[in-house]
Amino acid sequence: MLARLRLRIRKLDTEIRDVVRSQTTAGEEGKRELEDAKKGINELFSKMRQIRDKAEQSEEMVQEITKDIKELDYAKRHLTTSITTLRKLNMLGMQSVHPFIFFPLSPKIPPLFHSICHGAA
């Protein structure tokens, strides 16, 4: 009977050692998995920062493009006004404008250009 108890004790000791080893292994695996999770979180935050930076750069580019479009609209408006004025001058004919070319200080020029610009031609 004593031999059986000793055999039973050895088996229990062996089982206890196996359980302790498996827990140690599980603890190490848990630590590795935790480290992997931390790395994954850090990578995720890094990618989020990159996306935010790219979004900010895109916003700046959109603002620059919008500014350029506004400038082009302004230039187009002035170009259209200039073309309209030139067409009105053309309608008046060079004969009526020709005498004023050599005398730019003539008092007749301001009313003529006023009527051209305001559509009275």
How confident is the prediction along the chain (121 residues), in pLDDT tens digits per residue?
A: 778 878 888 888 888 888 777 777 767 777 888 899 999 999 999 999 999 999 999 999 999 999 999 999 999 999 999 888 888 877 776 555 555 555 555 555 566 565 666 655 4
- Rounded to whole angstroms, what are the CA distances from 120 to 42, 111, 113, 115? 72, 10, 10, 5
Is pTM beyond 0.85? Reply is no
